[in-house]
C-alpha cells in the first residue's frame, strides 16, 4: 500500500464503472474500498462478515431481508450503516451515489449467497486503485 494521503474525490474520479469497487488502502486484514453506485445491485449475503457502508455522495438505500420480512434503510450523504453477517441485502442508488466500504480482504462484492449477477454488477474482490504507486496486492 502507498504511504501517501489519498484524496477520495480524486480516487473516485479515476474510474467510471458502477458497482465495481476499488481498494483505496488496507487496515490489517480489511480493505477500504470505494465504489460508484447507480441503479440496483442484487440480493446477496456475506455469510461470515459484516459489511460497513459510508455514503460519500448521493443517497444509498439498502433493502434487508430479516426476521421473515423486508425493510429498507436509506442513507443520505455522510451516513453509515452496517449490514450484519448472513443478512440478505440489496443496495440501490436510483440517483447515483459514491460509497466507501470496509470489509475483510478477499470478500466478494456479490457475497457468498446471491441471485444471478446482472451485467452492470462486477463480481470482484476489489480492483487496485489506478494511481501511481498503488497496489491492491
For residue 30, the model assigns a pLDDT of 95
Domain-embedded: residue 133: no
Domain-embedded: residue 134: no
Cα distance between residue 67 and residue 64, in whole Å = 10
pTM: 0.87
Domain-embedded: residue 1: no
Which three three-digit cell numbers place residue 110?
456479490
Which three three-digit cell numbers place residue 35?
465504489
pLDDT in tens, 38-68: 999 999 999 999 999 999 999 999 999 998 9
pLDDT in tens, 79-100: 999 999 999 999 999 999 999 9
CATH number of 26's domain: 2.60.120.10
Domain-embedded: residue 108: yes
Name which residue leads in pLDDT, 47 or 126.
47
- The stretch 103-111 carries a mean pLDDT of 85
Work out whether the CA dihedral 105, 111, 112, 117 comes out positive or negative: negative
Domain-embedded: residue 15: yes
Half-sphere exposure of 12 (CA within 13 A, CB side): 17
Domain-embedded: residue 135: no
Distances (CA, A) of 114 to 85, 108, 118: 14, 11, 11
Residues β-bridged to residue 53: 81, 101
Structural domain that includes position 42? 8-128
Number of domains in the chain: 1
Q: Is the pLDDT of residue 75 over 50?
A: yes
Helix (H) or strand (E) holding 3, with range, is none
Number of continuous H segments (helices) and E segments (strands) in the chain: 1, 10
- Nearest CA-CA partner of 129 in 4, 3, 33: 33
Domain-embedded: residue 122: yes
Domain-embedded: residue 93: yes
Amino acid at each position: 500500500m502507498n504511504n501517501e494521503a489519498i484524496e477520495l474525490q480524486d480516487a473516485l474520479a479515476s474510474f467510471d464503472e458502477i458497482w465495481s469497487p476499488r481498494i483505496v488502502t488496507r487496515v490489517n486484514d480489511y480493505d477500504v474500498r470505494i465504489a460508484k453506485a447507480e441503479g440496483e445491485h442484487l440480493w446477496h449475503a456475506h455469510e461470515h462478515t459484516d459489511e460497513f457502508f459510508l455514503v460519500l455522495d448521493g443517497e444509498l438505500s439498502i433493502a434487508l431481508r430479516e426476521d421473515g420480512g423486508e425493510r429498507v434503510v436509506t442513507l443520505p450523504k455522510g451516513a453509515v450503516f452496517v449490514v450484519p453477517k448472513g443478512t440478505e441485502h440489496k443496495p440501490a442508488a436510483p440517483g447515483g451515489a459514491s460509497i466507501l466500504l470496509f470489509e475483510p480482504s478477499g470478500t466478494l462484492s456479490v457475497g457468498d449467497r446471491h441471485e444471478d449477477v446482472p451485467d452492470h454488477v462486477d463480481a470482484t474482490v476489489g480492483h487496485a486503485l489506478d494511481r501511481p504507486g498503488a497496489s491492491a496486492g
